[in-house]
Amino acid sequence: MRGYLDHLTVERGLSGNTLASYRRDLDRYLVTLAARGVTDLAATTAAEIAGHVAALRDGDADHPPLSAASAARATSAVRGLHRFAVREGLVADDASRDVKPPSLPRRLPKALEVDEVLRLLESVGGDGPLDLRDRALLEFLYGTGARISEAVGAAIDDLDLTGGSATLHGKGGRTRIVPVGGYARAALEAYLVRSRPGLVAGGRGSPAVFLNARGGPLSRQSAWAILRKAAGVAGLPVDGSRAVSPHTLRHSYATHLLDGGADVRVVQELLGHASVTTTQVYTLVTVERLREVYATAHPRAHS
């Protein structure tokens, strides 16, 4: 297991959070095997692996039942461990090959209407240092489709505002260059010229684009709080299943691009998705949108 986690760290470049989740999943798997007297992966059977997955969904005295998504992640960790053992020559066969993860319900991404996005962005006013930062952050998230981790992880050297682009550092160590629109550029320039110098002077010279009030890099939690506050001012949901989150702006970015006629492959590149299959879920959103418009506008839509 340690060898597999080292492989994920060095060769796959997985994030610390993902690695921690995999470690917990695999620790629990090894406990399950030990309870059944199995101490060698070569002695593991598909039935034992499938039983472990079923137990994750059912829960036990020490663990609550896992959701389908969490159980699917845990299954992926277990299958990855077995594949790694085969590649390393530690076992001859992959006992997990035919064990399938739980099926996940297809959930369409939540996206804001364009006028809701405008309300959200315009809810951050004022010329104070933190006001300028907050507006620049929200404009950057919506203007580039960046993940929240990519936004708070961006450095000054990643910005090319003259050329209208930014370099984002995504999952698995992948980087991509994305365009930065005029509104986002203007907000960033106002922040960088009128706000950031004062913030950085109070810290230790952090290269991060977005800084907190003490001059250090803005955290993901603080960025989330900024968005939540802006959503409240704009009259958008801040609680429940429709609550506005940083990922909501990313979903909105993708949906609005596709609504405007962008090719799904282009949107895939802009979002930094490894597979176009991940991006294609957004095409379902636009189809649903077309159905709604048709149902309300066409005189023969209903019998």
pLDDT 10s digits, 27-78: 999 999 999 999 888 889 999 999 999 899 888 888 888 888 888 889 999 9
- CATH 1.20.120.1690 fits domain 114-295: no
Catalytic residue among 73, 82, 250, 256: 250
Residue extent(s) of CATH 1.10.150 domains in the chain = 2-87
Q: Is 183 an annotated catalytic residue? A: no
Instruction: Out of 57, 169, 171, 176, pick the active-site residue.
Output: 171
Report the pLDDT value the prediction gives residue 233, as an integer from 0 to 100: 95
In the set 73, 82, 133, 147, the catalytic residue is 147
**Residue ranges, CATH 1.10.443.10, the chain:** 114-295
Known active-site residue 82: no
Mean pLDDT, residues 253-259? 88
Q: What is the mean pLDDT of residues 159-164?
A: 95
User: Per the residue annotation, which of 4, 22, 142, 282 is the catalytic one?
Assistant: 282
Phi and psi at 97, nearest 5°, equal -55, -40
Which is the catalytic residue, given 36, 174, 242, 247?
A: 247
273 catalytic? Reply is yes
Q: Is the pLDDT of residue 282 over 90?
A: no
250 is catalytic: yes
pLDDT at 293: 61
Active site annotation includes 73 = no
pLDDT value of position 265? 85
pLDDT above 70: residue 290: no
3-state secondary structure 191-225: HHHHCHHHHHHCCCCCCECCECCCCCECCHHHHHH
Q: What is the pLDDT of residue 49?
A: 93
Q: What is the pLDDT of residues 195-224, one digit of tens each?
A: 999 999 999 899 999 999 999 999 999 999
70-110: per-residue pLDDT in tens? 888 899 999 999 999 999 999 999 999 988 887 766 666 67
Domain 2-87 indexed as CATH 2.40.50: no
Can 242 be counted among the known catalytic residues? no
